[in-house]
Amino acid sequence: MEGEASLPLMAVSLFDTSTPLAPLRPEIDRAVARVLDHKQFILGPEVAAFEEEFASFCGAGQAIGVANGTDAITIALRAMGVGPGDDVVVPSFTFYASAEAIPATGAQPVFCDVDPETMCVTADTVRAALTPQTKAVLAVHLFGNIAPIDEIAALGVPVLEDAAQAAGGILDDGRRPGALGTAATWSFFPSKNLGCFGDGGAITTNDPDIAERVRMLRFHGSHDKVTYEHVGYNSRLDALQAAILRVQLPHLEGWGDARRAAGRHYENAGLGELVDLSVPAPGTRPAWHLYVVRHAEADALAARLGEAGIGTKAYYRTPVHRQPAMRELGAGVELPVTDELAATNLAIPMSAVLDRAQADAVVAAVRAAVAAPVG
Ligand SMILES: Cc1ncc(COP(=O)(O)O)c(C=O)c1O
pLDDT tens digits along 29-53:
999 999 999 999 999 999 999 999 9
Q: How far is the CA of 357 from the centre of ligand 1 (A)?
A: 31
Residue 161 Cβ < 6 Å to ligand 1:
no
- Of 165, 191, 203, 235, the residue with max ligand 1 atoms within 8 A of its CB, to mutate for a pocket test, comes to 165
What was the pLDDT predicted at 372? Answer: 77
Q: Nearest CA to 84 among 50, 132, 133, 120?
A: 133
What was the pLDDT predicted at 45? Answer: 96
Taking the C-alpha atoms of residue 322 and residue 344, their distance in angstroms, rounded to an integer, is 16
Residue 193 Cβ < 6 Å to ligand 1:
no
Give the pLDDT confidence of 249-265 residue by residue, as tens digits.
999 999 999 999 999 99
CB contact at 8 A, 1 and 300: yes
Measured from the Cα of 140, ligand 1's closest atom is: 1
CB contact at 8 A, 14 and 306: no
Q: Nearest CA to 90 among 64, 110, 71, 104?
A: 110
CB contact at 8 A, 194 and 248: yes
Q: Identify the DSSP state of 90.
A: E
DSSP-derived 3-state class of residue 15: coil
From first to last of its 375 residues, what are the pLDDT tens digits of the chain? 544 445 546 899 999 999 999 999 999 999 999 999 999 999 999 999 999 999 999 999 999 999 999 999 999 999 999 999 999 999 999 999 999 999 999 999 999 999 999 999 999 999 999 999 999 999 999 999 999 999 999 999 999 999 999 999 999 999 999 999 999 999 999 999 999 999 999 999 999 999 999 999 999 999 999 999 999 999 999 999 999 999 999 999 999 999 999 999 999 999 999 999 999 999 999 999 999 999 999 999 999 999 999 999 999 999 999 999 999 999 999 999 999 999 999 999 999 999 999 999 999 999 999 987 655
Q: How far is the CA of 185 from the centre of ligand 1 (A)?
A: 9
Q: Identify the DSSP state of 373.
A: P
Instruction: Count the helices and strands in the chain (H runs, E runs).
Output: 14, 11
Half-sphere exposure of 268 (CA within 13 A, CB side): 10
What was the pLDDT predicted at 64? Answer: 98
For every residue of 194-237, DSSP letters joined together read S--SS--EEEEES-HHHHHHHHHHTBTTBSSSSSB-S---B---
What was the pLDDT predicted at 373? Answer: 61
Taking the C-alpha atoms of residue 270 and residue 98, their distance in angstroms, rounded to an integer, is 34
Cα 255 vs. chain centroid, distance in angstroms? 15
What was the pLDDT predicted at 217? Answer: 98
Taking the C-alpha atoms of residue 196 and residue 187, their distance in angstroms, rounded to an integer, is 9
Strands 170-171 and 284-285: antiparallel
What was the pLDDT predicted at 129? Answer: 98
Taking the C-alpha atoms of residue 188 and residue 200, their distance in angstroms, rounded to an integer, is 5
What was the pLDDT predicted at 1? Answer: 54
Taking the C-alpha atoms of residue 321 and residue 309, their distance in angstroms, rounded to an integer, is 33
Taking the C-alpha atoms of residue 153 and residue 258, their distance in angstroms, rounded to an integer, is 30
CB contact at 8 A, 371 and 333: no
Closest-CA residue, ligand 1 atom 12, reads 164
Tell me the percentage of the chain whose pLDDT exceeds 90: 96
Cα 124 vs. chain centroid, distance in angstroms? 21
Largest CA distance in the chain: 72
CB contact at 8 A, 120 and 147: yes
Residue 201 Cβ < 6 Å to ligand 1:
yes
- Phi, psi angle pair for 301, to nearest 5°: -60, -45
Taking the C-alpha atoms of residue 315 and residue 296, their distance in angstroms, rounded to an integer, is 15
Taking the C-alpha atoms of residue 112 and residue 122, their distance in angstroms, rounded to an integer, is 9
DSSP-derived 3-state class of residue 42: strand
Q: Nearest CA to 335 among 109, 63, 64?
A: 109
160: number of Cβ within 10 Å = 30
Measured from the Cα of 68, ligand 1's closest atom is: 10
